[in-house]
Amino acid sequence: MNTTRAPFKLFLARWGWFVGLGALLILALVSYGRNPTSTEAVLASTVRQATPLVLGALCGLWGERSAVINIGIEGQMLLAAFIGFLVNVWTGNLLIAVLAGALTGALLGALLAFMSVTLKIDQIIGGTVINILALGLTGYFYQQGLTTQGKLQPIPLGPLADIPLIGQVLFNNPPITYLTILIVFISHYILFYTRWGLRTRAVGEHPRAADTLGINVYLMRYVNVIMGGALAGLAGAFLTLEAVGSFERAMTNGRGFVALAVMIFGKWTPLGSWGAALLFGFATAMQTQLQFMGVNIPHQFIGMLPYLLTIVVLAGFVGRARPPAADGVPYEKE
Amino acid sequence: MSETFVLEVRNITKRFPGVLANDRVNFTLRKGEIHTLLGENGAGKSTLMNIVYGLYSPDEGEFFIDGQPVDIKNPHDAIQQGIGMVHQHFMLVPVFTVLENIILGSEVTRGTSLDLTKAREQVNALSREYGLEVAPDAIVEDLPVGVQQRVEIVKALYRKVKILVLDEPTAVLTPQEAEDLFRIMRHLTERGVSIIFISHKLKEVLAISDRITVMRRGQVVGTTTPADTNESGLAAMMVGRQVVLQVDKGPAQPAEAVLTVKDLHVLDERHLDVVRGVSFAVHSGEILGIAGVQGNGQTELVEALTGLRKVESGSVTLDGAPVPPRDPRFLFERGMAHIPEDRHKHGLVLPYSIADNLALVAYYKPPFANGIQRNEQAIIENAVHLIEQYDIRTPGELLPAGNLSGGNQQKVIVARELSRAPRFLLANQPTRGLDVGSIEYIHKQIVAARDSGAAVLLISAELDEIMSLADRIAVMFHGEIVAIVEAGKVTKEQLGLMMTGTSAAEALA
């Protein structure tokens, strides 16, 4: 039997994460020693750039874990960003604006669920419908010159924020960024440790088996896709209400699709998606930093960095990840 | 006063488009009995059980549990009433652990979390009580089918099942695993569980049942007991006419070698040597049977012979011509016919029409094609002709093959392969999962192919099938052919010994 490579592979499978993490930590410390300000800026930016990506990835994940492919994340984010912004302009209440964004995402999720679960339309087409709808609606109703009512500000967490390096990176963030980190862990808990998670995974792997045990497959899919939509909506709210403070046409800029890559790279797990999102967030942060530093490369090329990373990661590293078995297949009761 | 049954169904009628699947069916189940539901494929057994389990809703009819009328609208209701079902295709999530599969839908929780510790204790207790060994933390897809089936039974017991439906449980089991299952079934009935057993293997039905109800074309033909009937009696009830259970064939007239295999080595997916230096020849006019417990290299051997798997070393010649590596069309063009082991995976394109499936091996040449264009008329005519000749029961030739019953699907494959007057026929598990009527028919066709000069290689896990059909028998064990014997000169016991590793010299002594 051919086993020569097995021990190394086993080592990599078991300890690869730690080795990678350790290397990154050392790199960060060295870099911090040389240039504290830029290092802090890049890492803090990494966490914030990762926020919409991991929220989008979780949206995709909750859908696909119950076997509904959602490629409409981009559209959910975009329309939610727009509605959240408008509500902020009208009411001046950031909390209501964020909730309106999440609700918009959830409603688009309900639309996707209706198309793919009840009508059993091809899910790729259903998602595309949402993307086009969001692009069209936001483009049509967008008016320039709407005055913003401010955006969500960082909340330093007392003395934690004063810890060198990690204080600025982890404990001095605006609310949606904090909330997102919380949602990652809550998602992990629900998916792997609760009844709802077990049933969701069953519905995504073998819906008939779940059905024969008295589980309502359609209901599970509806709820998961709608809740996922709310997360995508939160990502949209992050863009207008926390990151930028205003709305621009097509401002999601492909994040909804990168989020799907993040989900796959994270092997359909919340923690894995978070790690993957941080990697992509880092690429985006680096891109900004390199442009700041005036590296002598045309900025268009530097701007490609996160997208190049997407291609490399999807083509090279995810070969062995296994999607839920029933992913994308509408369930027919007999 | 009439007897109170654990389960009684009265006048169940279920119509599917174009079919009356259950026609005023009555069925009763006594406490602690094994009541077999026997019938050909498509007779309505599974439909009836799916109705009892709430997966289908009947158009008419009533249910009574312990004499009380009940309403079963979905599986949830059925589970509430103490009905459990082990489906023919297991309802297990392959990537879940045994424990997760067992508790799914009936989870124990502590606060918001799953309480796996408590569930594991409960499952272990059940395991001990019923003598059903399962490892709670094993991943289901890594387990052999026999163990997966045990998991299904524990799953039912976990839901406090009083009535257990087993839908063709032995179809996927080895004889040894089937024995285990029967032991478990008796154990369950001793503890008051009532079992509805669906099967069409007459021997085991007679061995295990308390009562036997036979269905044919959606109706109950009658109920009997093993003491009052025998194999041919049951077969006649099932099919509606006398069935020949013995294969009727004259002596073989072997002529020249058609397929010659020399020192063949084949690797499996894990690069393990699973066919290890196999040599044999199949002659025109004979049936060579390969007997062996499944997993001893037969699947890989067949894949190598049909051009689906790489030959590591050794030679295969068909009528003297060396077979090029991995070139199925070469083989088909030179008269090979293949009835594959898995009719869904390799035999048919299920969503295609019966007509297209019947044209699959020759679709690219006349009369089915004119240049790059299909000749629809020729394809349809071919189908109409074969459907009649091979007695394929279907409402029409344009129906998707997936809509046919298993027996009729197999007939489509047999029709396609044998209508080409093959030079070499490779029949791998040709009657797996089929009822007596279809088995009889397919056996006749294989013998007819032999008599018209084909060389036939038959691979089967059913020793009875090998014994009755083959002229010579090769025994395969651990990737090697340990003996080739004349069919009349060996007993079932001797074959069984060689199949499990006893040397030929010792077994035949």
Between CA B483 and CA B373 the distance in angstroms is 50
State yes or no: pLDDT of B244 exceeds 50. Answer: yes
Nearest to A167 by CA among A182, A183, A155: A155
Q: How far from B431 is each of B420, B459, B474, CA to CA, in Å?
A: 20, 11, 19
B91–A209 CB contact, under 8 Å = yes
Q: For residue A37, what are the contacts with CB-CB under 8 A and spacing of at least 6?
A: none
What are B112's two structure tokens?
A: 């918001």
Burial string for B419-454 (b: 16+ CB within 10 Å, else e) reads: eeebbbbbbbbbbbbbbbbbbbbbbebbbebbeeeb
Containing H/E element for A94? helix A94-113
Identify the pLDDT of residue A200.
Answer: 97
Identify the pLDDT of residue B172.
Answer: 73
Q: How far from B328 is each of A158, B90, B494, CA to CA, in Å?
A: 73, 33, 36
State yes or no: pLDDT of A3 exceeds 50. Answer: no
Q: For residue B305, what are the contacts with CB-CB under 8 A and spacing of at least 6?
A: B259, B261, B316, B426, B457
Phi, psi values for residue B123, rounded to 5°? -65, -40
For chain B, the C-alpha Rg in angstroms (whole number) is: 25
Weakest mean pLDDT among A164-178, A209-223, B137-151, B492-506: B492-506
Å from A193 to nearest chain B CA? 6
Residues of A with CB below 8 A from B112's CB? Answer: 194
Q: For residue B439, what are the contacts with CB-CB under 8 A and spacing of at least 6?
A: B431
Q: How far from A173 is each of A81, A169, A276, CA to CA, in Å?
A: 19, 8, 20
Nearest to B248 by CA among B430, B388, B446, B412: B446
pLDDT tens string A77-102: 999 999 999 999 999 899 999 999 99
Between CA A218 and CA A120 the distance in angstroms is 11
Identify the pLDDT of residue B2.
Answer: 64
pLDDT tens string A261-286: 899 888 899 999 999 899 889 888 88
Å from A321 to nearest chain B CA? 13
Task: Name the amino acid, one letter, at B103.
Answer: I
Residues of B with CB below 8 A from A213's CB? Answer: 75, 79, 91, 104-106
Q: Provide mean pLDDT across the span A308-324.
A: 73
Interchain CB contact of A108 with B (< 8 Å): no
Between CA B285 and CA A248 the distance in angstroms is 80
Unique residue bearing structure tokens 């690429």: A283
Task: Name the amino acid, one letter, at B227.
Answer: A
Nearest to A79 by CA among A26, A147, A142, A154: A142
Identify the pLDDT of residue A13.
Answer: 60
Task: Name the amino acid, one letter, at A225.
Answer: V
State yes or no: pLDDT of A4 exceeds 60. Answer: no
Between CA B338 and CA B287 the distance in angstroms is 14
* Residue of A194, A208, A211 with shortest CB distance to B114: A194
Q: For residue B467, what are the contacts with CB-CB under 8 A and spacing of at least 6?
A: B473, B487, B492, B495
Nearest to B53 by CA among A321, A205, A52, A334: A334
Average pLDDT, rounded, for chain A: 88
Å from B95 to nearest chain A CA? 8
| Domains recognised in chain A with CATH numbers | 37-143+150-163+171-316 (1.10.3470)
Residue A10: band (very low, low, confident or very high) from pLDDT cuts 50, 70, 90: low
Q: For residue A127, what are the contacts with CB-CB under 8 A and spacing of at least 6?
A: A69, A70, A71, A72, A73, A75, A112
Nearest to B397 by CA among B19, B389, B225: B389
Q: How far from A323 is each of A136, A224, A269, B92, CA to CA, in Å?
A: 31, 17, 11, 17
Q: Between these two residues, A230 and A12, which has the higher pLDDT value?
A: A230
pLDDT tens string A137-149: 999 988 877 777 7
Nearest to B255 by CA among B332, B306, B319: B319
Burial of B94 (0-12, 13-18, 19+ CB in 10 A): middle
Burial string for A260-294 (b: 16+ CB within 10 Å, else e) reads: bbbbbbbbbbbebbbbbbbbbbbbbbbbbbbeeee
B92–A214 CB contact, under 8 Å = no
Are B27 and B213 in contact by the 8 Å Cβ rule? The answer is yes
From chain B residues 156-175, the ones with a CB under 8 A of any chain A CB are none
Identify the pLDDT of residue A191.
Answer: 97
Are A47 and A176 in contact by the 8 Å Cβ rule? The answer is no
Identify the pLDDT of residue B1.
Answer: 44
**Beta-carbon neighbour count of residue A238 at 10 Å?**
29
Identify the pLDDT of residue B48.
Answer: 93
- Strand pairing category for B257-267 and B313-318: antiparallel
A205–B93 CB contact, under 8 Å = yes
Identify the pLDDT of residue A245.
Answer: 86
Q: How far from A89 is each of A76, A86, A301, CA to CA, in Å?
A: 20, 5, 36
Sign of the dihedral through C-alpha A315, A316, A319, A321:
negative
State yes or no: pLDDT of B341 exceeds 90. Answer: no
Q: Provide mean pLDDT across the span B426-454.
A: 88
pLDDT tens string B4-13: 899 999 999 9
Identify the pLDDT of residue A299.
Answer: 73
Phi, psi values for residue B185, rounded to 5°? -60, -45
Interchain CB contact of A3 with B (< 8 Å): no
Interchain CB contact of A329 with B (< 8 Å): no
pTM, two decimals, is 0.79
What are B504's two structure tokens?
A: 């030929």
Between CA A200 and CA A193 the distance in angstroms is 11
Are A83 and A144 in contact by the 8 Å Cβ rule? The answer is no
Q: Provide mean pLDDT across the span B330-346.
A: 90
Residue A1: band (very low, low, confident or very high) from pLDDT cuts 50, 70, 90: very low
A193–B53 CB contact, under 8 Å = no
Interchain CB contact of A334 with B (< 8 Å): yes
| Domains recognised in chain B with CATH numbers | 7-239 (3.40.50.300), 244-335+422-509 (3.40.50.300), 350-419 (no CATH)
H helices of B138-279, in order, are 145-158, 175-190, 202-208, 231-239
Average pLDDT, rounded, for chain B: 90
Interchain CB contact of A211 with B (< 8 Å): yes
Å from B156 to nearest chain A CA? 10
Between CA B458 and CA A16 the distance in angstroms is 50
B85–A212 CB contact, under 8 Å = yes
**High-pLDDT (> 70) share of chain B, %:** 99
Task: Name the amino acid, one letter, at A102.
Answer: A
- Interface size between A and B, measured as CB pairs under 8 A: 69
User: For testing the chain A interface, which of B73, B95, B100, B159 should be mutated: the one with the most A CBs within 10 Å?
Assistant: B95
Identify the pLDDT of residue B88.
Answer: 84
Interchain CB contact of A209 with B (< 8 Å): yes
Identify the pLDDT of residue A115.
Answer: 96
Between CA B268 and CA B475 the distance in angstroms is 20
Q: Cα torsion for A157, A162, A165, A168, to the nearest 10°?
A: 40
Q: Provide mean pLDDT across the span A126-142.
A: 94
Interchain CB contact of B368 with A (< 8 Å): no
CA angle B61, B64, B68 (to 5 degrees): 130
What are B156's two structure tokens?
A: 């039912």
Interchain CB contact of B114 with A (< 8 Å): yes
Q: How far from A275 is each of A19, A217, B25, B442, CA to CA, in Å?
A: 14, 30, 59, 58
A334–B112 CB contact, under 8 Å = no
- Strand pairing category for B19-29 and B7-16: antiparallel
Å from B74 to nearest chain A CA? 7
Instruction: Collapse the DSSP code of B203 into the 3-class scheme (helix H, G, I; strand E, B; otherwise coil) and give the result.
Output: helix
Residue A12: band (very low, low, confident or very high) from pLDDT cuts 50, 70, 90: low
Å from A205 to nearest chain B CA? 6
Residue A319: band (very low, low, confident or very high) from pLDDT cuts 50, 70, 90: low
Task: Name the amino acid, one letter, at B506.
Answer: E
Identify the pLDDT of residue B260.
Answer: 95
Å from A189 to nearest chain B CA? 9
Q: For residue A178, what are the contacts with CB-CB under 8 A and spacing of at least 6?
A: A155
Q: Provide mean pLDDT across the span B466-488.
A: 92
From chain A residues 174-203, the ones with a CB under 8 A of any chain B CB are 193-195, 198-199, 201-202
Interchain CB contact of B56 with A (< 8 Å): yes
State yes or no: pLDDT of A72 exceeds 60. Answer: yes
Q: Cα torsion for B306, B310, B311, B315, to the nearest 10°?
A: 50
Residue B103: band (very low, low, confident or very high) from pLDDT cuts 50, 70, 90: very high
CA angle B289, B290, B296 (to 5 degrees): 170
- Residues pairing with B84 in the sheet: B164
Between CA B437 and CA B239 the distance in angstroms is 6
Between CA B508 and CA B498 the distance in angstroms is 9
Residue of B nearest to A209 (CA): B91
Å from B368 to nearest chain A CA? 33
Identify the pLDDT of residue A2.
Answer: 40
Interchain CB contact of A267 with B (< 8 Å): no
Weakest mean pLDDT among A48-57, A132-141, A249-258, A299-308: A299-308
Burial of A312 (0-12, 13-18, 19+ CB in 10 A): exposed
What is the residue-wise DSSP string for B271-291?
A: --EEEEEEEEEEETT-EEEEE
User: For testing the chain A interface, which of B104, B108, B270 should be mutated: the one with the most A CBs within 10 Å?
Assistant: B104
Between CA B338 and CA B331 the distance in angstroms is 10
**Beta-carbon neighbour count of residue B212 at 10 Å?**
25
Identify the pLDDT of residue A269.
Answer: 94
Instruction: Collapse the DSSP code of B483 into the 3-class scheme (helix H, G, I; strand E, B; otherwise coil) and give the result.
Output: strand
Phi, psi values for residue B192, rounded to 5°? 90, 5
Residues of B with CB below 8 A from A334's CB? Answer: 50, 55-56
What is the residue-wise DSSP string for A151-164?
A: ----EE-GGGGGST
Residue of A nearest to B85 (CA): A212
Between CA B317 and CA A143 the distance in angstroms is 77
